[in-house]
Amino acid sequence: MKYRKKPVVIEAIQFFDNPETLANLSELGLDPVNIDYEIPSMPVLKIPTLEGIMTAIEGDFIIKGVQGEFYPCKPGIFAETYEIAD
């Protein structure tokens, strides 16, 4: 059988390691905003989920799902899956 994904409006922010993005993530409800600087040139955002800690690198989108959960999404997949909603 084939299935079609139901149209759902989500909130998302593209992750960049700058004060504006970090403030936007916090306003979206991601608290705390936890960034790992183990490799200074590659900050990694750590996102707690029910499945454990997921990670995002700069350029990834952070999605707030319909139940308030957060998860990362690679830019290419995001562009194929989502479009701007009114």
So what's the pLDDT on residue 6?
A: 81
pLDDT class of 45 with cuts at 50, 70, 90: very high
So what's the pLDDT on residue 3?
A: 86
> Which whole number is the average pLDDT over 8-16?
95
- The full set of domain ranges for the chain reads 11-81
- By the 10 Å C-beta count (0-12 exposed, 13-18 middle, 19+ buried), 77 is classed as exposed
So what's the pLDDT on residue 76?
A: 97
pLDDT for 86 beyond 80: no
So what's the pLDDT on residue 4?
A: 84
* CA–CA separation, 82 and 26 (whole Å): 22
* CA–CA separation, 64 and 26 (whole Å): 12
Residue 40, both tokens: 């200074």
